[in-house]
Amino acid sequence: MSTRTHTTASRTRICTVKSITMTISTDDTNVESVIDALRRAGGRVTTARRLVVETLLSTHEHLTADDVASRIHGDHPEVHLSTVYRTLDALESIGLVAHTHVGHGPAVYHVSVPHEHQHMVCEKCGGVVDIPAASLDDLCTRLRAEYGFELHIGHFALLGHCRGCGEAAPAS
Amino acid sequence: MSTRTHTTASRTRICTVKSITMTISTDDTNVESVIDALRRAGGRVTTARRLVVETLLSTHEHLTADDVASRIHGDHPEVHLSTVYRTLDALESIGLVAHTHVGHGPAVYHVSVPHEHQHMVCEKCGGVVDIPAASLDDLCTRLRAEYGFELHIGHFALLGHCRGCGEAAPAS
DNA sequence: TTTTTTGCAAAACCTTTGCAGTTGG
DNA sequence: CCAACTGCAAAGGTTTTGCAAAAAA
């Protein structure tokens, strides 16, 4: 919560702050907006919860619950892994966080950006169904890992049959 | 391995066989082709392995390892769950079986049809990358479960940046 | 015979839960 | 103050592993 080294994605410069109390690694605005949303939803704001949010926002990587706990433990060893899980659950149930199951390993969590979405188009009736981009996170991660392919969510539509058309005339 | 009731996807008629020894639920041809491929790959063909293949092919549902074991246990209680896991692993490493991680629950397995594939197109260089349809299984399952949307694999392309183009000019 | 596979038991792994104490609003 | 949250310990569900016996080639 003070004097940190820079670990963000920005490639400009490494800056080492010596004695000024200052948060560099995390975008405070985002942290506060998530925290505010949490409060607005009737949740309580605690040190542990703030730390979880800061940690998630401190990187663009997707972190496992254990990753989050480990990073927090540097400064706050008292925050228990189960608290991290419960905090992530709480934030997720409000829609502020999403998690994805990546292959064999543990689930990864990230602050969810509720704007992006993906279209699904029915090849029969032409209907369009919007789904949250998070539904494609799993696929995204895998394609990136296995093929180095960076998916452009929303730049293409998924084709198929919607519920009504699929039930009416099942494919052979 | 004899006198079974029909449980396949066909909607024509329910047929109850009384005394004729006959396998209805499983397509023997497919079972044998998978078993043959296993043998060709240097694996050994055992009762347990045959049962796993038969079970997977006896339905169009995706089964968990535990599902497979349970179904086998009806006739063959001696086949251990760990053997099922090891058999599924063995078949998967040869490419005959694929598994998918579906949300929270256990992984589901299915005989992989190596023909289907999905295209990924680079929006920069126009290059096309083929990936196995199995890569989309997870998404398929989720969209079906959550939206009743039946994805038509191969009928659309995934857009994004391929490895080369993504590395050359990273998105803002 | 030789190597692979099996059954069993036990561990490993990730996640959830019960409870008593603490804390935020 | 009171409900919500925390730390801890312990359990839960899924998957993996070590080993000796059994079976395939």
Residue B41 distance to chain A (closest CA, Å): 24
DSSP B136: G
Percent of chain B with pLDDT over 90: 34
CB distance under 7 Å to strand D: residues: A 43-44, 46, 48-49, 78-80, 82-83, 86-87, 90, 104; B 39, 44-47, 64-66, 81-82, 85-86, 89, 105-107
Please count the CA atoms within 13 angstroms of the CA of B33 that sit on its side-chain side: 12
Q: How many CB atoms lie within 10 A of CB A69?
A: 22
In contact, A40 and A80? CB cutoff 8 Å: no
For residue A54, pLDDT beyond 50:
yes
- Give the confidence band of A9 by pLDDT, cuts at 50, 70, 90: very low
Q: What is the pTM of this model?
A: 0.62
Give B164 to chain A, closest Cα distance, Å. Answer: 8
Q: Which residue has the tokens 């199995």?
A: B134
Distance CA B159, CA B171 (A): 14
Contact between A165 and A124 under an 8 Å Cβ cutoff? The reply is: yes
Residue numbers in A near B163 (CB within 8 A): 147-149
Q: Is the pLDDT of residue A100 over 90?
A: no
Q: How confident is the model at residue B71 (pLDDT cuts 50, 70, 90)?
A: very high
D6 C1' to A8 CA distance, Å: 30
Q: Which of residues 117-146 of B touch strand C (CB under 7 A)?
A: none
Q: What average pLDDT is seen over chain B?
A: 75
Contacts of B145 (CB under 8 A, 6+ apart): none
State the pLDDT confidence band at B127, using cuts at 50, 70 and 90. Answer: low
CB contact under 8 A, B149 and A160: yes
Q: Which nucleotide is nearest to A106 (CA to C1')?
A: C14
Q: Among A147-161, B5-19, B126-140, where is mean pLDDT lowest?
A: B5-19
Q: List chain A residues with CB under 8 Å of B139.
A: 135-136, 138-139, 158
Nearest CB among A129, A147, A159 relative to B129 is that of A147
Between A54-58, A95-99, B89-93, the lowest mean confidence (pLDDT) is in A95-99
Flag whether pLDDT at A4 surpasses 60. Answer: no
Q: How many CB atoms lie within 10 A of CB B60?
A: 8
Predicted pLDDT at B2: 30
The shortest CB-CB distance from B129 to any of A149, A158, A163 is to A149
Which are the contacts of A5, defined by CB distance < 8 A and separation ≥ 6? A14, A15, A16, A17, A24, A25
Residue of B nearest to A154 (CA): B159
Amino acid at A165: C
Q: How far is A104 from chain B (nearest CA, A)?
A: 8
To test the contact with chain B by mutation, choose from A102, A150, A151 the residue with the greatest count of B C-beta atoms within 10 A, namely A150
**B150 part of contact set with chain A, CB < 8 Å:** yes
Res. B107: pLDDT tops 50: yes
Q: What is the pLDDT of residue A167?
A: 58
**Residues A88-112, mean pLDDT to the nearest whole number:** 85
pLDDT value of residue B125: 61
The reply to whether residue B123 touches residue A148, judged by beta carbons under 8 angstroms, is no
Chain C footprint positions (protein CB, under 7 Å): 4-10, 13-18, 23-25
% of chain A surpassing 90 pLDDT? 35
Nucleotide in closest CA–C1' contact with B45: D24
Residue type, B111: V
